[in-house]
Structure 1
Amino acid sequence: MSAPPPAPLQHSPLHERHVALGAKLAEFGGWEMPLEYTGVLKEHAAVREAVGLFDVSHLGKIDVRGPGALELLNRCLTNDLRRVAPGEAQYTLVCDDATGGVVDDLIAYVHDDDHVLLVPNAANTAEILRRLRAVAPAGIELTDQHTSHAVLAVQGPLCDAVLDAVGLPTGHDYMSFRVAEVEGVEVVVCRTGYTGERGYELVAPAEVAPALWDALVAGGAAAGLVPCGLGARDTLRTEMGYPLHGQDISLDVTPVQARLGWAVGWDKPEFWGREVLTEQRAAGPRVVLRGLVATGRGIARPGMSVKITRDLPIGHVTSGTFSPTLRKGVALALINAQVQLGAEVLVDVRGRGEVFVVTKPPFVQAGVRGS
């Protein structure tokens, strides 16, 4: 029997805008999304120096409501939602209870004790919903808003001017959000992002997304706003050392190994994976996620072997790219935990042993919190 045909790719509510702009499109997490418009280097520079506009509607959106919604999630997610006040957001993880591996990383937006919005990664939304619905008591409603809502990211040092121009709220603290109104519907304006720059992410109903995109493009003209694709988003996040699920973190990689222990509420009595992760933390992981910076012209790519000598492998690259800011290769790699910061290692780049230095990310200065 022949294999069934692949499922058709999902399209963002802004797909027609991307086609009209001549974007190069690519598959990402089951969605056809813009990879680049005018080139990754130009789009990367726009975010670091001025402002860029991203469509990240492929991200999941799960609305959790009902009495005790926050407490339910706090018994499942790694971080401690009790530290978050209404109107604030928190980076957290869903881990497998048996292995401690990362099912997904996500951001939780707390409206109040009975209403939390979760934004997971595209390919994992259905699995997060499945796991949460399996433990949710009667009265807790989990609504899949993956296709009914869009997410637009306005990122860069001039982002406030763009939102000001279209009448959206600005100036709130990092990892907080405000609720605004566009064309009579609710838009959540979050001070979050995945680029390392000051920025906002706008969660809006799909029907107003095209008009919102057009308004942001027009309102950002004076600030030099540039539409940006997922190619620049990847180089930007790699420069910051932000992990990407499916590469740097996965079911085979735990938060302890990925150096994400800061996103775990260790004092909580309950969360998925607590027992195994507590044991691994106490014993110390055998491998950890580290940053690598090239001393020469080598560019590391995912899957490439990392060695301490030509004959002694110590791990592998999980993410790697050319850093437009540093003008050299940077990477994240899972390597032997005994290898110290500052050590020189070899990355097998097409048979050549390119020298990289083990470094603690971020590789460039973060502007995420702004002034």
Structure 2
Amino acid sequence: GPLAKGTLEKVVAVPELDYMSFVELDVDGDPLIICRTGYTGEFGFEIIPTWSNATKIWSSLLNAVHSNSGLVAGLGARDTLRTEMCYPLHGHELSLEITPLQADASWAVGWKKENFIGRQSLLAERESGSKRILRALRLTDRGVPRAEMNVYSIDDALIGVTTSGTFSPTLKTGIALALLDPKVQVGEVVTVDIRGKRIAAVIAKAPLVPSHVR
């Protein structure tokens, strides 16, 4: 977030870093890697200390966070943020059963490479079209979707299944990622089966909230 750099600089002097870059520093004789990366969609850093120095670095960071009236947040908070940004998570939007084309990650495939495992299958899928594609959902009725909930079209046809879901504190509503029939377009109204109740949602453009990584 906006206080990340100032908070970190209470522990170690941080040079200006471009997004997706890193620097190796020395803190009291121990090496420390600071990366301008993250998995939240917010401006921030990822810190890689040595094992022997990890507890000391953590304590220093914790004191710095508290001095800025901050709180410690865990994987639940990170998962909410990454879902708002529509970032994929292994085991949910990324798996052996979900191709990069289906996960909207074809940009990560080295199409120009002469050969790699799965190349022919991916080329065939790209030519014929994927049978499902990752979409973002924003609920318009009250409810909190979770993974593996069925998604239906307005005429009650099963069109896919959610892969991740949560309540968005930013949007004040339930949100989800889902693998859906590729014919379903942004703006269409659908329903999500949440514990036996059909809850209305709209197919939304990803990401669901603005990015602040830079």
TM-score range relative to shorter protein: over 0.9
SS in 2 for 1:237: helix
Matches within 5 A, 1:116-127: none
Does the 8 Å contact 1:174/1:192 carry over to 2?
yes
- 1:341 equivalent in structure 2: 186
Partner of 2:21: 176
1:288 to partner: Cα distance? 0.3
* Cα distance change on mapping 1:284 and 1:294 into 2, 3 Å: same
Q: Does 1:304 align with 2:114?
A: no
Which digits, 9 at most, give the CA deviation of each residue in 1:224-247, with x for residues without a partner? 332111111111111110111111
Greater fraction strand: 1
> Which whole-Å CA distance do the structure 1 matches of 2:43 and 2:115 have between them?
34
Is 1:323 the counterpart of 2:161? The answer is: no
Work out whether residues 318 and 333 of structure 1, in 8 Å CA contact, stay in contact via their aligned partners in 2.
yes
Asked whether the 8 Å contact 1:161–1:220 carries over to 2, the reply is no
User: Is the Cα contact below 8 Å between 2:154 and 2:189 reproduced in 1?
Assistant: no
Find runs of 4+ consecutive structure 1 residues off by over 3 angstroms: none
Q: Which of 359, 365, 369 matches 2:204?
A: 359
The amino acid that maps onto 2:210 is Q
Secondary structure of 1:165 counterpart: coil
- CA shift, 1:274, in A, is 2.2
The percentage of aligned residue pairs carrying the same residue is 47
Residue 188 of structure 1: which of 19, 27, 33 is its match? 33
1:8-23 matches, within 5 Å, as none
Q: TM-score when scaled to structure 1?
A: 0.56
Which of 230, 237, 249 matches 2:82? 237
Partner of 1:277: 122
The answer to whether the Cα contact below 8 Å between 1:341 and 1:359 also exists between their aligned partners in 2 is yes
For structure 1, list consecutive stretches of 5 or more residues without a partner in the other structure: 1-155
Indicate conservation of the 8 Å contact 1:288/1:337, yes or no.
yes
C-alpha distance in 2 between matches for 1:259 and 1:202: 28
Q: 1:203 aligns with which of 24, 30, 48?
A: 48
CA RMSD of aligned residues (A): 1.4
* Higher deviation after alignment, 178-187 or 199-208: 178-187
User: 2:106: which partner in 1?
Assistant: 261
SS at match of 2:191: strand
Q: Residues 161 and 223 of structure 1 are in contact (CA less than 8 Å); yes or no, is this contact kept in structure 2? A: no
Deviation per residue, 1:100-150 (Å, 9 max, x gap): xxxxxxxxxxxxxxxxxxxxxxxxxxxxxxxxxxxxxxxxxxxxxxxxxxx
Tell me how many residue pairs correspond in the alignment. Answer: 214
Q: Deviations over 1:80-100 (max 9, x none)?
A: xxxxxxxxxxxxxxxxxxxxx
Q: Describe how 1:155-170 pairs up with structure 2 within 5 A.
A: 156-170=1-15
Q: Would the aligned equivalents of 1:298 and 1:349 in 2 still touch at CA under 8 Å? A: yes
Asked if the contact 1:239/1:364 (under 8 Å) is kept, the reply is yes
